[in-house]
Amino acid sequence: MIIIALGANLPSFVGLPEQTFNAALSSLSNQGVRIVALSSIWGSAPVPASDQPHYRNATALIETDVEPRELLTLLHNVEKDFGRDRAYEVRNAARTLDLDLIAYNDLVLENDDIILPHPRMHERSFVVFPLLEIAPTWIHPENKRTVKDFYNDLYPDDEIYSAQNAYCKFGS
């Protein structure tokens, strides 16, 4: 199971974050990535707390023959296509699109370019909540815990909410 997380709190040239998600997923599907499942849209406060707009978040399960490093490059290129430039970005700044590679099957990998599974995925309610919808029984290859376990460990005061009226219907 390959998992990606989507996030944005600024509009892109195609519109609101939800519309950006649709367009980004379409772009990925045109580049050898098959979208298997997509969570609903969640809203979350910026981390760390700031006066930035709230984020929209989702997770997707994908299939691809693209290797992890190449997939990460592809994700970054799609981000750039929608207005994000990591080279000039301030850490934790507002953004038009954030595509994170959360897990690549059962691969455990750590080097200067990529760490898999994502080292902070289990601490981020904006990853865990949407992932709980589409892969509640996924097991982390290092600590052998499920998404449901991560959900149970989250802080109850994390600001996250369903954004059901947000529009993201990729593939419909």
Q: What is the pLDDT of residues 147-159, one digit of tens each?
A: 999 999 886 667 7
pLDDT of residue 87: 75
pLDDT of residue 50: 83
Q: What is the pLDDT of residues 10-69, one digit of tens each?
A: 999 999 999 999 999 999 999 999 999 999 999 998 877 788 899 999 999 999 999 999
Which amino acid makes up residue 82? F
Q: Please state the rounded mean pLDDT for residues 100-123.
A: 95
pLDDT of residue 91: 79
Q: What is the pLDDT of residues 125-152, one digit of tens each?
A: 999 999 999 999 999 999 999 999 999 9
SS3 sequence, 124-151? CHHHHHHHHHHCCCCECCCCCCEHHHHH
Q: Does domain 2-162 have CATH number 3.40.50.280?
A: no
pLDDT higher than 70, residue 169: no
Q: Please state the rounded mean pLDDT for residues 159-166.
A: 73
pLDDT of residue 167: 45
Q: Please state the rounded mean pLDDT for residues 100-116.
A: 96
Sequence spans of domains, the chain? 2-162
Q: Give the orientation angle of helix 17-29 with respect to helix 68-81, to 10 degrees.
A: 130
| Residues taking part in catalysis | 84, 95, 98, 100
pLDDT of residue 165: 56
Q: Which two tokens stand for residue 29?
A: 């599907």
